[in-house]
């Protein structure tokens, strides 16, 4: 073994996805057998060299693949990992028997996005009518399955977009009622400048900067600070002290399908700092801001100098 424990990813990027999320687009199923073979070759290689803590099954979207429980079972056999996490839109977990089968096969953690507190907001991001209703059925099944136990763990994530930024207070309130969820995380969508369709959905960062202190103060007042982490939202954007930070860490080998080797992330997930960051009081501990937003003029980090 070369390293201490690492996390890696099994990426089912050829499965296809019913959602048409504004930051992601249209994915139809293609060459699934080739995809599975490639990923098993990858994780076998990574697991030979490393002690693996967790394998995350992601892609677009893993739960739309009927044979997913068999894949999860084979991953645990190959890697002997501590756990298998599934990153998914969650909609197919509305089928209780499929959910049970997945958990029995070794899936012990789910990461599921929620973009709004109601049909209108959530479905305006997924561009898939009915996605909120199906997700709520899946949440009901997860609540019953967990029934107070720790397994399967559940992380509910969200992204701030133009489409939901005026409804964040309602989203926080909604989250605070989901008592069976173990953790929440909210962050920003990666922006790929090649994806011109995403431009109208980029948040209004000027407004967000003004709104976030009050929104986070509200989230704290309803106890959400116990479970909610902020990802990729530096102090110069949030202007509010927040205990839980959940910045993205690329999984070992997770992006080999893009031709990216090792722990690097695609450009839309990378961060940069500007020369101004040198005079910011958070410079030492801050990883910077998402690079493509800065380089394309959507947000300019402003050094924090005064007392918070």
Q: Which residues of the chain form contacts with ligand SF4 (CB under 6 A)?
A: 234-236, 273, 277, 280, 282-283, 286, 288-289, 301-304
Smallest distance from ligand SF4 to CB 215, Å: 18
- The Cα-based distances of 185 to 130, 155, 245, 272 in angstroms read 23, 7, 9, 21
Residue closer to ligand SF4 (CB basis): 187 or 234: 234
Phi, psi of 305 (to 5 degrees): -120, -35
User: Looking at residue 251, what DSSP letter applies?
Assistant: P
Cα(238)–Cα(165) distance, integer angstroms: 14
Smallest distance from ligand SF4 to CB 232, Å: 10
Smallest distance from ligand SF4 to CB 191, Å: 16
Smallest distance from ligand SF4 to CB 279, Å: 8
Question: Cis omega (within 30 of 0) on the bond before 152?
Answer: yes
Cα(259)–Cα(99) distance, integer angstroms: 33
Residue closer to ligand SF4 (CB basis): 56 or 232: 232
How are beta strands 183-188 and 52-59 bridged, if at all?
unpaired
Residue closer to ligand SF4 (CB basis): 148 or 297: 297
Residue closer to ligand SF4 (CB basis): 78 or 231: 231
Angle subtended at Cα 113 by Cα 200 and Cα 40, rounded to the nearest 5 degrees? 110
Smallest distance from ligand SF4 to CB 52, Å: 32
Residue closer to ligand SF4 (CB basis): 173 or 238: 238
Write down the H helix ranges in the chain. 32-49, 68-79, 96-105, 119-126, 131-146, 168-177, 205-221, 235-238, 291-295
Phi, psi of 168 (to 5 degrees): -70, -35
Smallest distance from ligand SF4 to CB 6, Å: 27
Residue closer to ligand SF4 (CB basis): 89 or 271: 271
> What DSSP line would sit under 35-61, residue for residue?
HHHHHHHHHHHHHHHS-EEEEEEEES-
């Amino acid at each position: 073994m070369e390293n201490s424990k690492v996390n890696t990813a099994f990426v089912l990027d050829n499965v296809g996805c019913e959602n048409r999320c504004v930051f992601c687009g249209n994915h139809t199923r293609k060459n699934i057998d080739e995809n599975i073979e490639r990923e098993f070759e990858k994780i076998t290689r990574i697991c030979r060299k490393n002690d693996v803590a967790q394998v995350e099954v992601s892609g677009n979207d893993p739960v739309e693949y009927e044979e997913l429980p068999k894949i999860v079972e084979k991953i645990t056999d190959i890697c002997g990992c501590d756990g298998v996490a599934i990153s998914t839109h969650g909609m197919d977990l509305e089928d209780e028997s499929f959910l049970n089968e997945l958990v029995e096969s070794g899936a012990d953690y789910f990461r599921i996005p929620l973009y709004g507190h109601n049909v209108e907001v959530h479905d305006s991001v997924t561009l898939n009518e009915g996605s909120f209703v199906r997700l709520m059925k899946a949440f009901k099944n997860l609540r019953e399955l967990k029934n107070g136990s720790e397994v399967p763990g559940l992380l509910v994530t969200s992204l701030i977009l133009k489409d939901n930024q005026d409804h964040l207070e309602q989203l926080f309130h909604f989250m605070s009622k989901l008592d069976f969820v173990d953790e929440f995380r909210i962050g920003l969508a990666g922006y790929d400048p090649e994806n011109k369709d995403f431009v109208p959905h980029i948040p209004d960062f000027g407004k967000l900067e003004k709104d976030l202190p009050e929104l986070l103060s509200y989230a704290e007042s309803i106890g959400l600070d116990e479970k909610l982490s902020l990802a990729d939202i530096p102090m110069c954007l949030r202007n509010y002290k927040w205990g839980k930070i959940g910045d993205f860490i690329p999984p070992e080998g997770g992006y080999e399908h893009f031709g990216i080797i090792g722990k690097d992330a695609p450009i839309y997930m990378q961060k940069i700092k500007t020369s101004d960051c040198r005079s910011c009081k958070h410079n030492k501990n801050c990883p910077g801001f998402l690079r493509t937003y800065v380089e394309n003029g959507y947000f300019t980090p402003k050094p924090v100098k005064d007392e918070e």
